[in-house]
Amino acid sequence: MKGGVGKTTLSINIADCLSKRYQKKVLLIDIDPQFNSTQCLFKVEQYVEHLKEKKDTITDIFDKNTKINISTVNGANETSSKELKKIKPVKIKENLWSIPGNLELYRLEIAPGEGRESRLKKYLRMNEEKYDIVIIDTPPTPSIWMTSALIASDYYLIPTKADPISLTGIDLLNNIVKEKKDNLDLTIKCIGVVLTITEQQTRVYKSAKKFLSEHHTWSKLLYTKELPKRTELAGKQLDNYILDLQDSNIKTALIGIVDELLKRIGNEEQK
Ligand X SMILES: Nc1ncnc2c1ncn2[C@@H]1O[C@H](COP(=O)(O)OP(=O)(O)O)[C@@H](O)[C@H]1O
Nearer to Mg ion, 19 or 138 (CB): 138
CA–CA dist 97, 181 (Å, integer): 28
Q: Is 230 in the site for ligand X (CB under 6 A)?
A: yes
From the list 177, 195, 227, 261, which residue makes contact with ligand X (rule: CB under 6 A)?
227
Closest by CA to 6, choosing from 196, 193, 168, is 196
Closest by CA to 145, choosing from 102, 185, 91, 190, is 102
Instruction: Say whether 185 sits in a helix, a strand or coil.
Output: coil
The span of 18-26, 210-218, 227-235, 261-269 binding ligand X (CB under 6 A) equals 227-235
Nearer to ligand X, 248 or 270 (CB): 248
Nearer to ligand X, 211 or 228 (CB): 228
What are the backbone angles phi and psi of residue 44, rounded to the nearest 5°?
-55, -50
Q: Is 251 in the site for ligand X (CB under 6 A)?
A: no
Q: If phi over 0 gives left and psi between -120 and 50 gives alpha, with beta otherwise, what is residue 239?
A: left
From the list 1, 5, 6, 7, which residue makes contact with Mg ion (rule: CB under 5 A)?
7
Interactions with ligand X, residue window 39-68 (CB under 6 A)? none
The span of 86-94, 103-111, 228-236, 258-266 binding ligand X (CB under 6 A) equals 228-236
From the list 41, 146, 197, 261, which residue makes contact with ligand X (rule: CB under 6 A)?
197
From the list 111, 235, 269, 271, which residue makes contact with ligand X (rule: CB under 6 A)?
235
CA–CA dist 173, 99 (Å, integer): 25
Nearer to ligand X, 64 or 153 (CB): 153
Interactions with Mg ion, residue window 30-69 (CB under 5 A)? 36
The span of 5-13, 114-122, 201-209, 232-240 binding Mg ion (CB under 5 A) equals 5-13
Provide the minimum distance between the beta carbon of 13 and ligand X in the complex, in angstroms, as a whole number.
9
β-strand pairing of 90-93 with 155-161 = unpaired
For residue 9, the partner it binds in Mg ion, ligand X, none, with Cβ less than 5 to 8 A by kind, is: ligand X
Provide the minimum distance between the beta carbon of 36 and ligand X in the complex, in angstroms, as a whole number.
5
- The set of long-range contacts for 110-119, using a CB threshold of 8 Å and a minimum separation of 24, is 110/62, 110/144, 112/144, 112/147, 116/62, 116/64, 116/144, 116/148, 117/144, 117/147, 117/148, 117/151, 118/148, 118/151, 119/61, 119/62, 119/64, 119/84, 119/148
CA–CA dist 12, 18 (Å, integer): 10
Alpha helices by DSSP H, 108-200 = 119-126, 144-152, 164-184
Q: Is 229 in the site for ligand X (CB under 6 A)?
A: yes
Binding residues for ligand X (CB under 6 A): 3-9, 36, 196-197, 227, 229-230, 233-236
Binding residues for Mg ion (CB under 5 A): 7-8, 36
